[in-house]
Amino acid sequence: MKNQKVILVTGGAGFIGSNLCKSLLLKGEVVICLDNYYKKSIKERNISSLLTSENFYLEIGDIRDVIFLKTVFTRYDFDAVVHLAAKAGVRGSIDNIKEYYDVNVSGAICLFEVMKEFNVLNIVFASSSSVYGNNNSLLIENSNTDCQTSPYASTKKTVELFSYTYFKNFNFNIINLRLFSVYGKRQRPDLFIAKVFKAISNKEIIKIYGDGEQLRDFTYITDVVDAFLKSLDLLSTKNKLYEIINIGSNTSISVNELIDIIEREINKKINVRFIGKQVGDIPSTFAGLTKASKLLNYEPKIKINEGIKIYKFWYDNSLKNSL
């Protein structure tokens, strides 16, 4: 196919990765999905519909395995990389600092080094709004990011810093997307909205950290995928590019408001128990999107009410029966 690109997606069988791989295939690109297949049954389900595509290739391995990475880079001629592979989650990182550093930081450096060796210089990195720490204002890309409150956030900020050195010294073209509270189909089961729907199905109590007044910029997965696609397009037209860009929904609601929206959608009352504040949690996230609009022509399309409706339909028809 004319102008067909070959894209490596690390963590491609995960939540965001599998949705992105599907969209890249629909766009006509060749997609190499690299994943360690941790929690294999979930990963298999995520990409089961993609395996029949002649443009989809699955490589199972660890980004810290340099020999494996070099084998993959020898096999394909990549135009760009989307780096999603990571240990995810603020809460999980609190008691697993070394593991999060090893996978997220050392793994990224292994990837950067192999990219450098094979002269693959275009990369979109999935960073996180958590790098902003306890900053309660509208978050813009030049807001303070020196006070992360969790090891997970610190690893994401560290990779951003390393990515700049590869841009400056080795001619990489890099876009770091700071993602805000992504949700939607194929969402990881440990994320809040997925946990709420599972608890509803099992008639369990929903546990909420703190008082539920913490604010989140919940961003639907299709909007996030759109940002990655537009970032890849921008990388293909620019040289010497380094950017950090927020990707959010242009609104911020409390966890309590989210529960109200879900209750209205399912037409039943949810049993909630408030528990102690979680270590490493932050009180508020709200993405300033001026830069995303200017550079990527990014405009979030799915409001939270619609997103919950779409997620419920998918959950009822896909995930619920497999839990």
> Which residues does the annotation mark as catalytic?
152
Encoded tokens for 88 = 């995810």
From 230, 218, 231, select the one nearest 284 (Cα to Cα): 218
Encoded tokens for 287 = 């993405």
Encoded tokens for 6 = 């070959």
Q: Cα(208)–Cα(298) distance, rounded to whole angstroms?
A: 32
Other CB atoms within a 10 A radius of the CB of residue 264 amount to 12
Helix axes 15-26, 221-235, angle to 10 degrees: 60
Residues in contact with 44: Cβ distance below 8 Å, sequence separation at least 6, in sequence order: 13, 37
Q: Cα(127)–Cα(226) distance, rounded to whole angstroms?
A: 16
Q: Which residues on adjacent β-strands are paired with residue 8? A: 32, 81
Report the amino acid identity of residue 228: F
Element (H, E) at 276: none
Q: How far apart are the first and last CA of the chain?
A: 40
Strand extents, DSSP E, the chain? 6-10, 30-35, 56-60, 80-83, 122-128, 173-179, 182-183, 206-209, 215-216, 219-220, 242-247, 253-254, 272-275
